[in-house]
Structure 1
């Protein structure tokens, strides 16, 4: 806090000295600082150089209305589903969130689910397979297979999900509607 106050004081003094230069020997304040040529004793020295400011966060850089550029999606996934047994559910679909888009059949619901899970503790393990040695029930949920590749909330994703045991069925169900509901 003290360092910030000291920096504020330096910036304030710099701005004041640049706006109101000292009076010359004749008592007159020069109307402008010299723009070229060497400095001499008769010319007042220009004020200190401006202090560089840190870069603005991206949300402050003209991201409001009137900007022609769309922000890059923080979530961009390619979802491939095979052998689901649900009409229209198999195939390869693109999903982008923030803004919502792509060819995914339930893109808004999928983005909402990813945002909901991402804000929880479970979000850290959303795309992670069960750790080696985890005890999973030996329930077979069918031949369905999915692969999800891309970025989620800026993090790299490359995972496969099946329905080969209780852990995988739970993972699949946790990813509905990113993956089709097979319950």
Structure 2
């Protein structure tokens, strides 16, 4: 017991003597560097096919940055606003669906989409469909980046 008390006291004294002086910043090593804020705009190519709405089909360019929205995307401003909301919420709206998920057996139509490009400095190559409840929800989460498709 006495030995443990002596060792604990000695360890604490050693730690305090090695502490930086008041006002000095400690050096942290072994931590990953902080990500740099990118001023590069997000650039996405959205390709939609097999939609019942002919205007929704096609390939659309979308650029979102400090200067605002641009490209031939039919709802560029709203799409960039939605991507901003998703960024603030965290997570990755382009992530592949989880394996083994439970989804309702419903069909939202034959529409399919592919989104490629860069978002938040990360490469994007995502596919979307409306084949079950999970896929429909995933699609709707990205509206108006993806068109609002109703059967």
TM-score (norm 1): 0.59
| Aligned residue among 108, 132, 140 for 2:99 | 132
Q: Which has the larger radius of gyration?
A: 1
RCO higher in 1 or 2 (8 Å CA, sep ≥ 6)? 2
- Displacement of 1:2 in angstroms is 2.2
SS of the residue aligned with 1:178? coil
RMSD: 2.0
For 2:89, the equivalent position in structure 1 comes to 120
Q: Does residue 50 of structure 2 align to residue 91 of structure 1? A: no
TM-score, with structure 2 as normaliser: 0.71
Q: What residue in structure 1 maps to residue 24 of structure 2?
A: 2
Q: 1:106 aligns with which of 68, 75, 80?
A: 75
Does the C-alpha gap of structure 1 residues 3 and 151 become closer, same or farther in structure 2, counting only changes over 3 Å? same
Aligned length: 117
* 4+ long deviations beyond 6 Å: none
- Are the structure 2 counterparts of residues 79 and 58 from structure 1 closer, same or farther at C-alpha, using a change threshold of 3 Å? closer
Distance (Å, rounded) in 2 between the aligned partners of 1:132 and 1:119:
25
**C-alpha distance in 1 between matches for 2:99 and 2:37:** 40
1:109, 1:139 → 2: CA distance?
Answer: 28
State the match for 2:47 in structure 1.
Answer: 80
Distance in 2, matches of 1:58 and 1:84, equals 37
